[in-house]
Every structure is written in C-alpha cells, then in structure tokens.
C-alpha cells in the first residue's frame, strides 16, 4: 500500500531530512525539477526532437525548423522555484523558454529565490498576468508551477485568468500544447482534492468547475502521492499522475504494513503494492480471502444472513446475498417478509430462504451460528427496519467482542435513523461496517457532509464519523474512504488506470455490502478493516474486468474470473 502524505506531513518530512544534514533544500528542488523534466520526455518522447516541418505536427504549425518552446508559469513559493529549475533544464536542452512570475522576486523563499536569480541573470521574467501570457508565442508545453502544497486560499482572479490564457491546446489545426503541473494543477488543494472556490465567476463551459484550475495532461508529484490527487476533483484535473523519487528517505514503516490496519495519523492507498513494487494478488488481497487458505468446511466460512425488502423490493438483498456467497461465505440465507417468499423462491437456489414476520422473530431464522448480517438494501425507511437493525446489533457474543457477528449496515438500514442518528450509534459496535453513499452519510452525520464541513477533507470527515459511531465506515464514491475509530484510514481510488465509471449503476452498492459480509463472516477472516479494504478493491476489479455495459448483477458473475486472476 502506498502512503499518502498531507501537505503538513510532506513538509515535516522535508524539514527533518534537511535538518538531519542528509540533503539541502536546494538539492531537493534540483531533483524535483529534474524529475519533472524526465517525466515530460517519458510522457511525450516526441518533444525530445526539435519541431520540424517533416513531422505532422510541424507541418500543422507551418514551420520550417523551430526550437521547441515552453511557457513556465511560476508562483511565489517553492513550487515556483521548481519552475525556474525546469526552465533552466529545458533551455539547456535547446528549448526556447518564456517564464512568468506571480509575485515579488524579493519575497521568494530562499531556494526559490536562488533559482529565480540564477535564471533571471540571463533571461527575462515577465509578470504572470493574462495579457503577458497571451502575447507570448504559442508554446509546445506549459509548465504550471504556480501553487503546489502551499495553497492556502482561492487562487486570485488575475492568476486564474493568466492560467487560462495559455490555451488548452485543443484548438483545431494547431499542434497540441501539453500541460504539465508541478505537484498539482494550481488551485487544487492536495489535502482535500477540492478546488478552492472564490477565485472568479463559474464558467458555464467548465460545467461544475470554476475556471480556476487548468486541467493538466500530466501531473508530477514528489516522493509520495497526496490525498488530493485521488480525492474529489483531483483525478479529473491531474491527467496522468507520476510520482518521482527525490531521495527523501522518510518513514517506510507504513508501506511495509501489509495486512495490518493503518496507523492513526496515516492514510494509505488501497492497492496491491509493497514498498513501491507490485505485489502478487495471491499475497494481497489473496491472503484476506479465507477460502484461499485451503482449509475448513462450510461452517468455518461463516453463515451470512441478508435481509431483503418486501414484494417487488427484493433485488437489492438478492444481489448482496449472491455476492456474499460467491466471495466465499459458507452459507447465505436471505430473509424476507412472508408475502415476498414466493417471489424470492423463484429467484434463488444456492442462497437459502426464510420468511420472518418482525424483529421479535429474528431468532427463528438466525441462530447463534450466524456470523454476519447485511441489513438495509431494499428494506425501506421504517420502524420495522429500525427494529431489525436494533435486534441484529443486539446480537453480541458476551465479552468475546471479536466473536460478535459482523453487521454490514447499508442503504435504508442507515437512512431509517436519519431523524435520530444517536439512537443508532448507541448500538453500533466494533464489528459493524457502515457503507453509506454521500446522501446517506449526510443523513447520519449532517455536520460532516461536504456542504457543512468546510476545509475538512473527506478522509478526516470519515475518521470523525467512525469515532462517533464506534465502528468501521466506508464512504462510497470513485474516491472511497474507509476509516475506523482512532484515526486509521485508507483511500480506495477508482481513478487513473483503475477508473471504473461503469460502477455508477443501481445496485452496485448492494453487491459491495455482500462482498464485505461474505469476506468478513468467515471464522478464518483477517482483521475487519483489512477485509473491508480488500472488498472495495475486488468490487472495482470486477467492474474493470467486465468493463463497458456493466450492470450490478454482472459484478458477482465476474468475481470468479477476478479471483482466478489474482492467482487463487
Ligand atoms: N516539501 C517538499 O518536500 C518539496 C517541495 N517542493 C516544491 O515546493 C512546493 C511547496 O512549496 P511552498 O511550501 O513554498 O508552497 P507553494 O505551493 O509554492 O505556495 C506557497 C506560496 O503561495 C502563496 N499562496 C498560497 N495560496 C495562495 C493564493 N491563493 N493566492 C496567492 N498566494 C498564495 C503563499 O503565500 P502565503 O500563504 O504565505 O501568504 C506562498 O507564498 C511543492 O508543491 C513542490 O513543488 C520541491 O521543491 C521539493 C521537495
Ligand atoms: N464513478 C464511479 N467510479 C467508481 N465507482 C463508483 C462510481 N460511482 C459509484 N461507484 C461505486 O458504486 C457503488 C454505488 O453504490 P450506491 O451508491 O450505494 O448505489 P446502490 O444503492 O444503487 O447500490 C459504490 O461502491 C461506489 O463506490
Ligand atoms: K502547480
């Protein structure tokens, strides 16, 4: 798993390395600039050659022979300092480079100042305003080095306009302009993945984004990715994300911790990667799939009970049940109101079926050997649902907490408590997993919803929610955040080369609830938090494996292929 560092953690790491005498800030800046330049030529090898009329691009540009040209937009901090290093390195490769600076050179921090002065001794630096940018010759490459991890407020309107003035390279009949962002497209907050608004009017052509951030084709960040590269608007704005090593040693402990929950103050990206290298799937997530250990009979792999809705509302429960069974639960029983028994009987074979009248009859259909419940999908918001939730949560194994049945609470099982979330949190315990989408999350934790939490990141919001509920919370989305009480958190990103837009389909969440229960209900299951991470990963793998046209039912049927693919 790759550790994601906040701006403060990145700064602390840099400071510690510099104070230890292992490296100077200037050397780090040089390596950062070099890393960006290397990434540019790796991404666009064609830029290594001069623009010539012999190439398609050159012919379009109507030039006989020309030097490649870059526009480097620099800001008032060290991100701008990286920009001046990049300008110098591109010039050394024969490029024509136009540089622009926002702010007063005399107020640049020392390392940035040194690189500015070195560049400015031989080259002009223009003020970063739209008019100057527009007047400059059309470049092959725009380097956005205005703001990085030091962004503290919305981008000022004049910088906004200047960032947009460079053109997006998509104009017809003109050669492409590639945009590379240093650390991040300026304006993106790397802790939250949000664009800090207030910098200018919303441009209708940009849809839900204000015209404050120019999307990058390539974003190059240093040492470790940051949460904002994966959260919220980050993936849509960053283009391709490249992480370059700048020789900051740092604490590799978290990266080594495969199979244990994250430390309280750390966040990790859920992926089969160990110390920066790909990890064979049979080690992760394979080690968290109990049946892969070739041991046990069906009762060792748990009995999951899934609640279904009434007549005509059973699909969600059936999909969750089938997912739980496919991913490895030994037995799965669907329980439904008596009126829906016939409908469900027509649709189920391997999944067992029982009718239950009300919460007081739960004991008739679920004995003490039930190790997992899924409750909520399709059930409807009602006192009946609340009653079932309470009776399921009351099932405890005395003082042996680790033997409490796992309870996956989703959909209406959550929304039924919107009027009084506290009455739910009195019952939730450490073996519960709440799997809300944004709307359900806002109903249970209104003060932590995006509209109310201000500058707090989605990660910190889910951490606070997990503390309040005393259980694991998985907040869904392309940026799924998982947190447990005490601060441990991870981020599962269906982004970049793991994008899974086809998952935005009705019922996909029901399948996820079933996967979590099916993996965690086994008597041989590992730590609950780790199992939830694995379920989130398998869910997206199934979507990616199936691809376009996916509907929720396909996820479960694709699972055997995914499990085989990871070497089980
Ligand atoms: N840390 C590392 O390990 C390494 C870091 N490196 C590089 O350094 C970058 C971080 O540098 P950084 O800390 O100087 O922050 P940066 O993003 O340049 O911005 C700070 C400046 O912007 C200003 N400012 C902020 N918001 C503003 C706004 N809306 N509108 C106007 N002004 C605003 C802010 O002003 P202030 O808030 O202080 O008034 C301050 O002057 C990092 O992203 C990476 O590229 C690499 O060289 C190698 C290793
Ligand atoms: N654009 C997307 N990219 C990746 N995953 C997504 C995307 N949109 C939704 N998902 C995932 O699909 C599932 C949808 O669940 P949910 O909103 O509960 O839908 P439903 O209630 O219809 O099952 C979640 O696991 C969520 O993370
Ligand atoms: K930047």
Mind listing the pLDDT tens digit for each residue in 374-420?
999 999 999 999 999 999 999 998 878 888 999 999 999 999 999 99
Does 197 contact ligand 1 (Cβ within 6 A)? no
Tell me what the mean pLDDT of segment 135-146 comes to. Answer: 95
CA of 323 to the centre of ligand 2 (A): 15
pLDDT of residue 65: 58
Nearest residue to 260 via CA among 246, 245, 274, 250: 274
- 88 and 214 in one domain? yes
Residue 40 shares a structural domain with residue 124: yes
Average pLDDT over residues 423-429: 98
Q: What is the pLDDT of residue 254?
A: 59
190 alpha carbon – ligand 1 mean position (Å): 11
pLDDT of residue 166: 75
On whether both 117 and 204 belong to a single domain, the answer is: yes
Count of structural domains within the chain: 2
Ligand 1 in contact with 14 (CB < 6 A)?
A: yes
Whether the pLDDT of residue 358 is over 80: the answer is yes
Instruction: Please say if the pLDDT value at position 506 is more than 90.
Output: yes
The boundaries of the domain holding residue 64 are 2-251
Helix (H) or strand (E) holding 125: strand 125-127
185 Cβ inside 6 Å of ligand 1: no
Q: Indicate if 182 and 34 belong to the same structural domain.
A: yes
DSSP string, 74-108: E-SSHHHHHHHHHHHHHHHTT-EEEEEE-S-GGGS
- CATH number of domain containing 361: 3.40.1190.20
Residue 380 counted as an annotated binding residue: no
The number of the ligand 2 atom at minimal distance from the alpha carbon of 480 is 27
Give the atom of ligand 1 at the shortest distance from the alpha carbon of 155.
29
The reported pLDDT for the residue numbered 260 is 77
Q: Is 222 in the pocket of ligand 1 (CB under 6 A)?
A: yes
**Which DSSP symbol is given to 199?**
S
Q: Do 70 and 139 share a structural domain?
A: yes
Q: Nearest residue CA, atom 43 of ligand 1?
A: 148
CA of 69 to the centre of ligand 1 (A): 25
Identify which of 509, 514, 554 to mutate to test ligand 2's pocket (most ligand atoms within 8 A of the CB).
Answer: 509
Tell me the ipTM for this assembly.
Answer: 0.97
pLDDT, tens only, 153-204: 889 888 988 998 876 545 556 778 999 999 999 999 999 999 876 544 444 4
Q: Which residue has the tokens 């370059």?
A: 244
Kindly indicate the confidence band of residue 225, based on its pLDDT and cuts at 50, 70 and 90: very high
From 545, 558, 532, select the one nearest 285 (Cα to Cα): 532
Q: Are the C-beta atoms of 112 and 80 separated by less than 8 Å?
A: yes
Looking at the fold, whether 353 and 481 belong to one and the same domain comes out as yes
* 502 SS3 class: helix
The rounded distance, in Å, linking the Cα atoms of 538 and 531 is 10
Mean pLDDT for 211-233 is 90
Query: According to the model, what pLDDT value does residue 209 have?
Result: 41
Q: How far is the CA of 219 from the centre of ligand 1 (A)?
A: 16
Q: Is 183 one of the annotated binding-site residues?
A: yes
Please indicate, yes or no, whether residues 505 and 395 belong to a single structural domain of this protein: yes
Mean pLDDT of 305-320: 98
Angle at 371 (CA atoms; ends 367, 375), nearest 5 degrees? 90
C-alpha distances (whole Å) from 444 to each of 414, 429, 438 are: 7, 16, 10
Looking at the structure, tell me whether residues 430 and 530 fall in a common domain: yes
CB atoms within 10 A of CB 265: 12
| Binding site membership of 270 for ligand 1 (Cβ less than 6 Å) | no
Q: Is residue 156 situated within a structural domain?
A: yes
Which ligand has the shortest distance to the CA of 104?
A: 1
User: Which residue among 473, 498, 501, 503 is best mutated to probe the pocket of ligand 2, counting the most ligand atoms within 8 A of its Cβ?
Assistant: 503
Cα distance between residue 425 and residue 434, in whole Å: 11
Domain match, 216 and 362 both: no
**Quick check: 78 and 109 in contact, CB under 8 A?**
yes
204 with 341, same domain: the answer is no
């Amino acid at each position: 798993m790759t550790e994601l560092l906040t701006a403060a953690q990145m700064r602390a790491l840099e400071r510690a390395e510099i104070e230890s005498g292992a490296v100077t800030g200037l050397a780090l800046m040089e390596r950062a600039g070099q890393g960006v330049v290397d990434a540019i030529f790796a991404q666009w090898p064609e830029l290594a050659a001069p623009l010539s009329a012999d190439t398609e691009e050159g012919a379009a540009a109507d030039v006989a022979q020309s030097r490649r040209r870059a526009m480097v937009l620099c800001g008032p901090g060290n991100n701008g300092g990286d920009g001046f290093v990049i300008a110098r390195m591109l010039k050394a490769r024969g490029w024509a480079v136009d540089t622009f600076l926002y702010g007063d050179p005399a107020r640049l921090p020392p390392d940035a100042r040194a690189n500015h002065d070195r560049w400015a001794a031989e080259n002009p630096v223009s003020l970063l305003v739209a008019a100057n940018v527009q007047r400059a010759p059309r470049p092959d490459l725009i380097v956005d080095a205005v703001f990085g991890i030091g962004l503290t407020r919305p981008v000022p309107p004049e910088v906004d306009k200047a960032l947009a003035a460079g053109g997006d390279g998509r104009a017809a009949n003109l050669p492409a302009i590639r945009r590379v962002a240093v650390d991040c497209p300026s304006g993106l907050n790397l802790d939250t993945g949000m664009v800090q608004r207030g910098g200018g009017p919303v441009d209708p052509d940009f849809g839900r984004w204000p015209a404050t951030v120019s999307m990058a084709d390539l974003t190059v960040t240093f040492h470790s990715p940051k949460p904002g590269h994966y959260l919220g608007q980050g993936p849509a704005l960053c283009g391709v994300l490249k992480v370059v090593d700048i020789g900051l040693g740092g604490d590799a402990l978290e990266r080594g911790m495969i199979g244990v929950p994250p430390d309280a103050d750390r966040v990790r990206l859920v992926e089969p990667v160990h110390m920066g290298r790909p990890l064979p799937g049979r080690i992760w997530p394979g080690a968290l799939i109990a049946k892969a250990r070739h041991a046990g009979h069906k009762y060792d792999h748990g009995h999951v009970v899934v609640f279904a809705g009434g007549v005509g509302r059973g699909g969600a429960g059936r999909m969750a049940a089938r997912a739980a069974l496919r991913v490895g639960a030994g037995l799965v029983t669907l329980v439904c109101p008596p009126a829906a028994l016939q409908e469900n009987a027509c649709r189920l074979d391997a999944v067992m079926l029982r009718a239950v009248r009300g919460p007081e009859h739960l004991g008739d259909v679920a004995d003490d050997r039930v190790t997992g419940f899924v409750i909520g999908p399709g059930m409807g918001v009602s006192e009946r649902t609340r009653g079932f939730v309470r009776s399921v949560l009351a099932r405890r194994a005395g003082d042996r907490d680790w033997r409490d049945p796992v309870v996956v609470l989703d959909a209406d099982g959550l929304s039924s408590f919107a009027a009084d979330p506290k009455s739910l949190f009195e019952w939730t315990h450490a073996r519960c997993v709440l799997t809300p989408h944004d709307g359900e999350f806002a109903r249970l934790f209104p003060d932590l919803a995006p509209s109310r939490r201000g500058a707090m990141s989605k990660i910190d919001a889910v951490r606070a929610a997990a503390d309040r509920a005393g259980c694991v919370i998985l907040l869904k989305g392309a940026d799924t955040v998982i947190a447990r009480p005490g601060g441990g958190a991870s981020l599962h990103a269906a982004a970049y080369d793991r994008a899974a837009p086809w998952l935005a389909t009705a019922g996909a969440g029901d399948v996820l609830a079933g996967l979590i229960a099916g993996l965690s209900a086994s008597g041989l299951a590992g730590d609950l938090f780790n199992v939830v991470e694995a379920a989130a990963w398998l869910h997206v793998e199934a979507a990616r494996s199936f691809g376009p046209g996916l509907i929720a039912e396909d996820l479960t049927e694709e699972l055997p292929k995914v499990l085989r693919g990871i070497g089980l």
